[in-house]
A and B are shown apart, each in its own frame.
Chain A
Amino acid sequence: RKEVEQDPGPFNVPEGATVAFNCTYSNSASQSFFWYRQDCRKEPKLLMSVYSSGNEDGRFTAQLNRASQYISLLIRDSKLSDSATYLCVVKSGDNFNKFYFGSGTKLNVKP
């Protein structure tokens, strides 16, 4: 079983739509969680960290559900520029500093 699993998509949505991605992780001891955005052929860039109480950054909201071991990303009022692949990243909770990456969910926002 993969450490981190995501639906690869693609999610094709119209501009202005609200879209949500989920990601599940297998290690219950995981401590740190992130969403990264990756544009085609570019490096992944940190979109936001995910905190236990949930957090929001503009149109983006991230949630963590430790009991069910999943994290989510909600994008409201989608823009064309939101088209990208979104990577779920989980960091192990010990001294190992091991990051586990999901394969990514592709989002296409259409006019």
Chain B
Amino acid sequence: EAQVTQNPRYLITVTGKKLTVTCSQNMNHEYMSWYRQDPGLGLRQIYYSMNVEVTDKGDVPEGYKVSRKEKRNFPLILESPSPNQTSLYFCASSLSGTGRTNYGYTFGSGTRLTVV
């Protein structure tokens, strides 16, 4: 089954304790992205990757890191989590396309992170 798999689904952690949220897709998609979703603010892009070893900042990258060493994996790293990073996180992937290509996103099931 074509899917984007995120782990963990739920995580409660303490301020400053490094954590990694994993994301893996089995669709051979070039493009992967991380979003956070907060009430009233919608989905905001954290980082994205156009392909292996190509990553770039989205709209809210502060406090996050990513890597793309393999095409299928795109982990999100919080080196020193803070309470303002409490949020619902989604990983998403898409075929890369230009112009009028209508390739949409496939989202993972989400990771609900609480930082206390």
Chain A residues packing against B (C-beta within 8 Å): 31-34, 36, 41-46, 49, 51, 87, 89, 93-95, 97-99, 101-104
Contacts and interface: CB of A to CB of B under 8 A. Distances in A.
Q: Is the interface of A mostly helix, strand, loop or mixed?
A: loop
B108 A49 contact: no
Interface of B: 31, 33, 35, 40-43, 45, 48, 50, 88, 90, 94, 96-110, 112
Nearest to B50: A97
B104 A97 contact: no
B110 A94 contact: no
Nearest to B90: A43
B67 to A, nearest CB: 19
A99 B102 contact: no
B42 A32 contact: no
